[in-house]
Amino acid sequence: MTKLKVVDTGSRRGNCYVLDYDGELLLLDFGCKWENILEGIQFKISNVSGALLTHQHMDHAKCYKNLMTVGIPIYTNDETAEYFNVVAGERMVGIPEGQWISIGNFKVIPLYVPHDGVPNYMYLIKIPDGQLMMYATDFMYLPKTFKGMHISTFLIECNHLDADTEKDAVNYKHSIKGHSSLDVVKNVIRANRTELMKNVILCHISETWGNSELMRHEIKEITGDAVTVDVAEPGLERDISLFPF
């Protein structure tokens, strides 16, 4: 069985998600309280094969020292590893863009996505159950499409509504430049939709600029009834098995 659990989400609480394949765990960012992460993995530190870090902002990276202390390897881009001044021998690894690597039984390929000048990775994750998952957050747009790869599960940031950006141009530029809007996410889903799409989880929704129910409804109109569309919130857990039993 493959499960996806939301530990925390959003700029204020921080972002952390757990991918669980038959008890083997992969962390997707770790920007919330360490206590919440421990609870989210049921204190099974030895079951965590690794952690993927998208970029340097602390709502994604807050607990990097905690992970190193307990021996969980962190994978990210070279610029982010250098930003945290990790010396040789510690457990943050810069991995090259566009190359598959193995993390336990998971396989991962990172790709740069634009985030207001900050080096930022999205990840495609091959899960041993046969499916491909996308984790993409803090991006202005995705420079590539992946329809030929038949992605089944999308964990994707839907931060704000384009219509709201007219309310306060100064705060818009400061707060959400570099974060994907509902219209951007719609385009991603349309461009990558195949018969294998099964799950869309909308994450990192802005407390100020977002409308979770509207976002879920509009994405659902694109995906149709065969696809489950969820809004990420702390404690949400979904069975995302490709072939559920």
Q: Is the pLDDT of residue 88 over 80?
A: no
Total Cβ atoms within 10 A of residue 141: 11
Q: Is the pLDDT of residue 165 over 60?
A: no
Structure tokens belonging to residue 119: 């080096």
* pLDDT score recorded for residue 245: 45
Taking the C-alpha atoms of residue 37 and residue 30, their distance in angstroms, rounded to an integer, is 7
Average pLDDT, the chain: 91
* pLDDT score recorded for residue 220: 97
Structure tokens belonging to residue 221: 């109109």
Q: Is the pLDDT of residue 105 over 80?
A: yes
Q: Is the pLDDT of residue 189 over 50?
A: yes
* pLDDT score recorded for residue 173: 57
Taking the C-alpha atoms of residue 1 and residue 89, their distance in angstroms, rounded to an integer, is 34
Tell me what percent of the residues of the chain surpass a pLDDT of 90: 81
pLDDT in tens, 32-53: 999 999 999 999 999 999 999 9
Total Cβ atoms within 10 A of residue 144: 9
Give the pLDDT band (50/70/90) at residue 132.
very high
How far from each other are the two terminal CA atoms of the chain, in whole angstroms? Answer: 8
β pairing state of 199-203 and 153-157 = parallel
Q: Which residues contact 30 (CB under 8 A, 6 or more apart)?
A: 16, 37, 51, 53, 60, 61, 62, 63, 64, 66, 67
Classify residue 234 by its DSSP letter: T
Predicted TM-score of the model (pTM): 0.93
pLDDT in tens, 133-143: 999 999 999 99
β pairing state of 92-94 and 74-76 = parallel
Phi, psi dihedrals of residue 155, rounded to the nearest 5°: -105, 105
Give the pLDDT band (50/70/90) at residue 242.
confident
Tell me what percent of the residues of the chain surpass a pLDDT of 70: 90
Q: pLDDT: is 208 or 221 the higher one?
A: 221
